[in-house]
Amino acid sequence: MAAFPARRGQMHLGAFFHPTGNHVASWLHPGAQADAGLNIDHYIEITRTAERGKFDMIFLADAVATRDGNLVALKRWPQYMAYFEPTTLLAALAVATSHIGLVCTATTSYNEPYNIARRFASLDMISRGRIGWNVVTSANLTEAFNFGREAHYEHGERYDRALEFTEAVQGLWDSWDDDAFLIDRASATYFDPEKLHFLHHKGEHFSVRGPLNVPRSPQGQPVLFQAGSSEAGKEAAARFAEGVFTAQYTLQGGQAFYSDLKGRMAKYGRRPDKLHILPGLNAIAGRTEKAAREKHAELQALIHPDVGLELLSNTLAGFDLRPYDLDGPLPPEAFALTTNGSTTALRNVLGWARDENLTIRQLYQRFAGARGQRTLVGSAEQIADEMERWFVNHASDGFLIQPSHLPEGLDDFVDLVVPILQERGLLRRDYTGTTLRDHLGLEPPPSRYAKRPAAAE
């Protein structure tokens, strides 16, 4: 292994559980649980596997709508069509595990702060301090249709709402001082009213009186995560996030994002080590590089052309590729396309088609397989080397591991890669604390009322 400049400490690991796995065709693979989205035994098994691998946490994404689009393609892809609501699921996983952190998404666009504050505080009590909330503004535009709107909020407004929403939630989480509940039968006193605080939040988007009907949580407050990488997303993260999920592809890109985001924190009075940046890693590990490549090829071969073409044509601004030969080149008109969607993805796809002469099938296989996430296929040693390279060179504080198919892809990672990371001192051999904040080395945030006398309310 190459000699790296030393960086002290251990990396933080999250396991991102798309029900059947990150690969678009994972549910068709024999090593995946086909009905995973609605199989509680499956979720318990994979969460316990991640706990055995001493991960800091698992992470569940969410949307408050199904996927929308061409049903001919959608019928071949279960993701976001039928699965457990994640906060409900985390409650079950909390009682089936003892140490691992449990993180899920809830959107600030289609919720109210009181509901979210209550749900996550409650989960933090049930899990004894292991909960995190991934604050998103909703990537799925059709969620609007389920909440009385005809269009999604515009990007800037979404983030304005997210900032105010999060502030209100944090305020509600401080409704009670840590020692507010006396539960004293002798004096017939359940709580001390001096230690109860009304929020009285009145902002542009939300009005919340409080107090919350759940005490301060065992880790002070649940841990806040954020996963948007736009300017507004980075600014929001610098302000309140304690963990960030991001898609980064190159060491240089990862380093630039890392120093940019950490550099924004000072103006909010925050130290850079109060936020952990975890780029996604779709790691396909084998005992040998050849075994890993074979596994990856198996998955790639399972991508149904309907699904591949749908994903590719979404990226190509809706350009219909069905009339064309899958094993032929992209038609010349495609190279003139522009998009209102992701310009980065469009540029990447057209670049591959032009520079490497990829056929339509090869293009969708490359793009659709990992759905735009960074894929690393190799021996366990090679994957550990690459993770170490990013970590010691300040491109990340750890990784969000996105197993290609579940449970098998996670088993491979935990059995093959984790021991190498532990051997190198880069990953804990056992948990030294019990809360998610303990694992992440983050102090419980003091209550906003801690040093002040209780307000007259």
**Contact footprint for ligand FMN (CB under 6 A):** 61-63, 105, 107, 136-140, 227-230, 232-233, 245-247, 280, 400
Could you say which DSSP state residue 406 is in? T
* Closer residue to ligand FMN in complex, CB, 10/105: 105
* Closer residue to ligand FMN in complex, CB, 232/346: 232
Closest CB 257 distance from ligand FMN, rounded Å: 11
Residues ≥6 apart with Cβ < 8 Å to 80: 63, 65, 66, 67, 140
* Closer residue to ligand FMN in complex, CB, 47/175: 47
Which two tokens mark 134? Answer: 């991934």
User: Residue 91, exposed/middle/buried by CB under 10 A (0-12, 13-18, 19+)?
Assistant: middle
* Closer residue to ligand FMN in complex, CB, 400/416: 400
Residues ≥6 apart with Cβ < 8 Å to 429: 54, 422
Q: Which residue is nearest to ligand FMN (CB)?
A: 228
Closest CB 277 distance from ligand FMN, rounded Å: 11
Closest CB 155 distance from ligand FMN, rounded Å: 6
* Phi and psi at residue 344, to the nearest 5°: -65, -45
Cis peptide before 211 (omega within 30 of 0): yes
Neighbours of 328 (CB within 10 A): 10
Residues ≥6 apart with Cβ < 8 Å to 291: 379
Closest CB 234 distance from ligand FMN, rounded Å: 8
* Closer residue to ligand FMN in complex, CB, 246/314: 246
Closest CB 136 distance from ligand FMN, rounded Å: 4
* Closer residue to ligand FMN in complex, CB, 88/230: 230
Closest CB 344 distance from ligand FMN, rounded Å: 10
**C-alpha dihedral sign at 354, 357, 360, 364:** negative
